[in-house]
Structure 1
Amino acid sequence: MTENLKQETVLVTAATGKTGHRVAERLAERGVQVRAGSRRGAVPFDWEDPSTWAPALGGADAAYVTYYPDLAGPGATEAMRAFGQAAAAAGVGRLVLLSGRGEPDAVEAESALREAGVPLTVVRASFFAQNFSEGPMAEGVAQGELVFPAGGTAEPFIDADDLADVMVAVLTEEGHTGETYEVTGSRLLTFQEAAEEIGRATGREVRYVPVTGEEYQGMLQQVGLPAQDAQWLVELFTMLMDGHNASTTDGVRQVLGRAPRDFADYARDAAKAGAWDA
């Protein structure tokens, strides 16, 4: 990374999220000036409040864009179009967007962000390994059950630390503008196999419990998710787990020059860190 890039200011949206905090930390370690945007942080940024966007973007040279709750979600395309316009008006030099692999609605949102003309790099990621250890799934896994409507479909789970390394490289190195990368883990695992890997790492049984989409929607509603949101999530999972993403890519190697971390290494490190302590 050049000294010039070190002097840049990078806005990290959703900077307290699963990928945002990792990207912000890594950028800071490289000497980049980080503007950590979040709902309650020093730099207010809220996807549901467009009035926070322009102040956060003002003076930023680049931005890491990760949309909540998902780039394929309702309203994401409109939000990306408006955010792109705000970034262009603020004079932001480039954007790096986290997108979902194999999500047609996310591709529409990518295009909407691109309309404003700000140089854009898109990184489409597979299912995060950390979904098992950070967030709602972690409690169930800690209790010995991984419940999800995936059937026997295999997925190339990506480590969020690998994804963050990719994002930081794209944000700080030359040659990535205009590119679209698909990043995955190094091998395919079914959710049953993922549960077994986690079980080996924790030293206790973790059982995969396949459920139908309807059953999973009911579970989401029982824990307080509104019916409409629960239905949308189940529809997204159903689409993602139809097998069309059951392949690996070399996206991580393309950007970083190395292979992605193996799921077993992720599970071992997460267990060691106490992610699934009862």
Structure 2
Amino acid sequence: MSNDVTHSGSTHGTGGNADVVLVLGATGKTGRRVLARLRLRGTPARPASRSSPTRFDWSDPGGWDAALRGATAVYVVPPSVPGPVHEFAARAEAAGVRHLVLLSGHGADRWGDSAFGLDMRSAEDAVRRSGLEWTILRASNFNQNFDEDVFHAPLLAGGLALPAGPVPEPFVDLEDVADVAAAVLAEPDRHAGRTYELTGPRALTFPEAVELISRASGRPLTYTRVSPDAYTAALVAEGLGEEDARHVAEMFVMMERQDISDTADGVTAVLGRAPRTFEEYVVRAAAAGAWRQRP
């Protein structure tokens, strides 16, 4: 067994061997949070990423079997292209994995013919068609996109310009997503065959979100609605590849024309409590200096 597995004193299954959770994307936004929670629970976990001792790269199937060896459950953050999860699921079954927990997107079955999210829909199809038990976690846009990801730099510069209009988004806190994923991975049999829609407790528009951030941070921040083409061009100018930029812009087109602004009870169903509010997130991030102007 790989020496980067965190052990607990408890054992599950047969032969006295502890079940091991393989955490893909272990250095990413959700993976690192899930890994920490599993370790705190005492659930043996093996982190895997391109920079972990257990290396995992979606573009290098030659390394998948070594990462899967001895794992009984896998937290799957799918690649940005459709297809690889089908082969991965087959490899996982052959390696003795019993359960896959997949991160997907809120309302994925209602995205219609949108070009956005083909990767996530392909991954959902793969786990459902596999011979393994599975659980799908469909998360809405993360609160932390405003301080850890694509929206952060524009806010530091004073404003956010996106193709989002009056249709609200039920932003979800990454801490809730990680809490749900860790709970499911710790007791996968309880959640087999379930799809959980993970959202915050209410939906709000991007202008409303920026206003809350402005108030909590004490900075005058602006929101401007731009066309998808203008947003794509801006992302490319910032260094994002054109295909990736178009994919991000297409998300906003899909959000504006599809009915996925509803909230859902997935967080409560798994954890028995209400999801964190966007205001709680904003206060936390502002207190940590997330939007403080740099000298």
Is contact 2:78–2:123 with CA below 8 Å preserved after alignment? no
The one-letter amino acid paired with 2:107 is G
Please give the alpha-carbon distance, in whole angstroms, between the structure 1 residues aligned to 2:79 and 2:285. Answer: 24
- 1:68 is displaced (CA, Å) by 3.4
- Cα-to-partner distance string for 1:94-115 (whole Å, 9 max, x where unaligned): 1100011123433343112222
Q: How many percent identity over aligned positions?
A: 46
TM-score where L is the length of structure 1: 0.93
The one-letter amino acid paired with 1:49 is D
Q: Which residue of 1 aligns with 2:56?
A: 45
- Cα-to-partner distance string for 1:87-139 (whole Å, 9 max, x where unaligned): 01111111100011123433343112222211100010111010001023211
Q: Which residue of 1 aligns with 2:101?
A: 96
- 1:51 is displaced (CA, Å) by 1.5
Please give the alpha-carbon distance, in whole angstroms, between the structure 1 residues aligned to 2:57 and 2:210. Answer: 34
- 1:237 is displaced (CA, Å) by 2.7
Q: Which residue of 2 aligns with 1:190?
A: 205
- 1:246 is displaced (CA, Å) by 1.2
Q: Which residue of 1 aligns with 2:4?
A: none
Please give the alpha-carbon distance, in whole angstroms, between the structure 2 residues aligned to 1:110 and 1:189. Answer: 27
SS at match of 2:131: coil
Please give the alpha-carbon distance, in whole angstroms, between the structure 1 residues aligned to 2:28 and 2:79. Answer: 9
Q: Which residue of 2 aligns with 1:35?
A: 46
1:260 paired to 2:275:
yes
The one-letter amino acid paired with 2:219 is R
Q: Which moved more, 1:158-167 or 1:220-229?
A: 220-229
Please report the RMSD computed on the Cα atoms of aligned residues, expressed in angstroms: 1.8
Q: Which moved more, 1:96-105 or 1:195-204?
A: 96-105
1:111 to 1:140, Cα distance in 2 relative to 1, 3 A: same
Pick from 203, 209, 215: which aligns with 2:218?
A: 203
Q: Which residue of 2 aligns with 1:84?
A: 89
- Cα-to-partner distance string for 1:167-200 (whole Å, 9 max, x where unaligned): 0111112410110110100011000100011112
SS at match of 1:35: strand
Q: Which residue of 2 aligns with 1:244?
A: 259
Q: Which moved more, 1:178-187 or 1:268-277?
A: 268-277
Please give the alpha-carbon distance, in whole angstroms, between the structure 2 residues aligned to 1:228 and 1:107. Answer: 18
Please give the alpha-carbon distance, in whole angstroms, between the structure 1 residues aligned to 2:66 and 2:182. Answer: 23
Please give the alpha-carbon distance, in whole angstroms, between the structure 1 residues aligned to 2:44 and 2:256. Answer: 39
The one-letter amino acid paired with 1:4 is T
Is contact 1:153–1:243 with CA below 8 Å preserved after alignment? no
Please give the alpha-carbon distance, in whole angstroms, between the structure 2 residues aligned to 1:192 and 1:68. Answer: 30
Q: Which residue of 1 aligns with 2:156?
A: 142
In the TM superposition, 1:139-178 aligns within 5 A as 139-173=153-187, 174-178=189-193
Give the total of aligned pairs: 272
Please give the alpha-carbon distance, in whole angstroms, between the structure 1 residues aligned to 2:158 and 2:257. Answer: 25
Please give the alpha-carbon distance, in whole angstroms, between the structure 2 residues aligned to 1:231 and 1:254. Answer: 35
TM-score where L is the length of structure 2: 0.88
- 1:56 is displaced (CA, Å) by 0.6
Is contact 2:100–2:127 with CA below 8 Å preserved after alignment? no
- 1:4 is displaced (CA, Å) by 3.1
The one-letter amino acid paired with 1:40 is S
Is contact 2:102–2:135 with CA below 8 Å preserved after alignment? yes
Please give the alpha-carbon distance, in whole angstroms, between the structure 2 residues aligned to 1:111 and 1:149. Answer: 29
- 1:208 is displaced (CA, Å) by 1.2
- Cα-to-partner distance string for 1:203-258 (whole Å, 9 max, x where unaligned): 11221111110000001111122222222222233113335111111111001000
The one-letter amino acid paired with 1:79 is P
Is contact 1:202–1:271 with CA below 8 Å preserved after alignment? yes
- Cα-to-partner distance string for 1:17-36 (whole Å, 9 max, x where unaligned): 11010000100111112111
1:3 paired to 2:10:
yes
Is contact 1:102–1:240 with CA below 8 Å preserved after alignment? no
5+ unaligned residues in a row in structure 1: which ranges?
70-74
